[in-house]
Amino acid sequence: MSRYNILWIDDEYEKLSSFILDAELDDIEITPFKTSRQGMKAFEDDMLKWDGIILDAKGWNKSSNEVATTEGMYNSLDKITELKHKRYVPVFVYSGQGDLFSDKQFKTSLRGLKIYKKGSSSDLKQLFIDIKSKADKLIETQIRFKYSNIVGVFSDINNELIGILSRVYNDITNDKDIFTSIRKILEWVMSYCNQQGVLPIKFCGSNLGECSKYLGKKEMQEFVPIHVQRSFHSCVEIANNGAHRLEIDSTVRNEKAPYLIRSTVFELLNILYWCKTLPTDNKSIERIKQKITELVSNDNLVIFEGIIQQDEQKNYHCGDYLLNYRDMQPEDIGRKIKIKKCSDNTQERSKHTYSHFAVRRHIELFD
């Protein structure tokens, strides 16, 4: 079951362990910080994670060497307001300072925020009710709960994924830029598959299609179910086309395919759901690598296919692959090439432009 993620800033949170436990029993996950500086950094670093923020009225602003004052709370409120255009979350003030509850000037300074009193069971109960009520109105929270079996599973792509799902949630049908975001997640998926042993090709930035073709081999269905293979094929084709501003760009922009964004996003979810099933222990990964090597001969494996080109520095290359100058001839420019094996490019002058290196014995030229 999904939980509400709440950021809490209180210089004495260790004394209130029962508060955290009570929240957990109510499906609220509290993450405490001692100072405003720490809490606001955590909020700014991962804004989509949080469903709300609880502030102590008096506490520390920057360090534990300070005297507890309201400065930290006000600085937190200012920072939250500053970031509101990027991410809005509800804020709650939870205080044990009895004198502040009757201070009209202090209440006015809270900009309409209600104060909940520490030690009051009724206030505690109401705080939890209000946290859930306000968080439930956040689109990001609704998305995280609705797609809880995917969102939050892979932290590296979580924010990108929520951004993609928000378009589906809001029924946006003509946002062509979504395909660039989908492609970024697919690139991460290929690197992840390589890391987990199911994809022997190392993703290098320009061989997304080749990685997809390999995972789609009939021999690979023992590891990649046919519905996932089809999702890879469809998702990669559409995302590549859309990200490079080709036909899909115009089709989506002109609303000629009102369901294309939604269908492509769900293909992506199929892939990510399957990624969850891949083993993560080293023994299983090595076993998969060995079996895949036996199933599919690396001699027949094409990791990249494209056109030979020459840059201004006279380097022969194909996409991100640098080709050995001595292996190439001027008449090879414009010819098609299949690369079957490569290595990391370690040449200082060219490695930032061409991440991989392929030599003649590992390439196949054809017209």
Scanning 170-278, the segments in alpha helix (DSSP H) are: 178-195, 208-215, 226-243, 247-253, 260-275
Residues 206, 176 share a domain: yes
Mean pLDDT over 65-81 rounds to 92
As given in the structure block, the two tokens for residue 261 are: 């964004």
More confident position, 161 or 341? 161
Alpha-carbon torsion 228, 267, 272, 321, what sign?
positive
Q: What is the largest CA-CA distance in the chain?
A: 86
Alpha-carbon torsion 306, 310, 315, 316, what sign?
positive
Residues 142, 159 share a domain: no
As given in the structure block, the two tokens for residue 18 are: 């029962």
Please provide the DSSP assignment of 251-310 as one string: HHHTTS-TTHHHHHHHHHHHHHHHHTTS--SHHHHHHHHHHHHHHS-GGG---EEEE-EE
Mean pLDDT over 71-95 rounds to 94
Confidence band, pLDDT 50/70/90 cuts, at residue 305: confident
- Tell me the pLDDT of the chain averaged across its residues: 90
Residues contacting 16, CB < 8 A, separation 6+: 10, 118
**Domain range enclosing 116:** 4-146
Write down which residue in 233, 268, 291 finishes a domain. 291
Confidence band, pLDDT 50/70/90 cuts, at residue 22: very high
Residues 49, 91 share a domain: yes
Residues 171, 265 share a domain: yes
Residues 131, 177 share a domain: no
Q: Which residues pair with 305 in a beta bridge?
A: 338
**Is the predicted pLDDT of residue 44 greater than 70, yes or no?**
yes
**Is the predicted pLDDT of residue 18 greater than 90, yes or no?**
yes
pLDDT tens per residue across span 146-160: 999 999 999 999 999
Report whether 31 contacts 8 (CB < 8 A).
Answer: yes
Residues 263, 194 share a domain: yes
pLDDT of residue 293: 76
pLDDT tens per residue across span 240-282: 888 877 788 888 888 899 999 999 999 999 999 999 999 999 9
Q: What is the pTM of this model?
A: 0.77
pLDDT of residue 229: 97
Cα first-last separation, the chain: 57
Q: Phi-psi region for residue 310, left (φ > 0), alpha (ψ -120 to 50) or beta?
A: beta
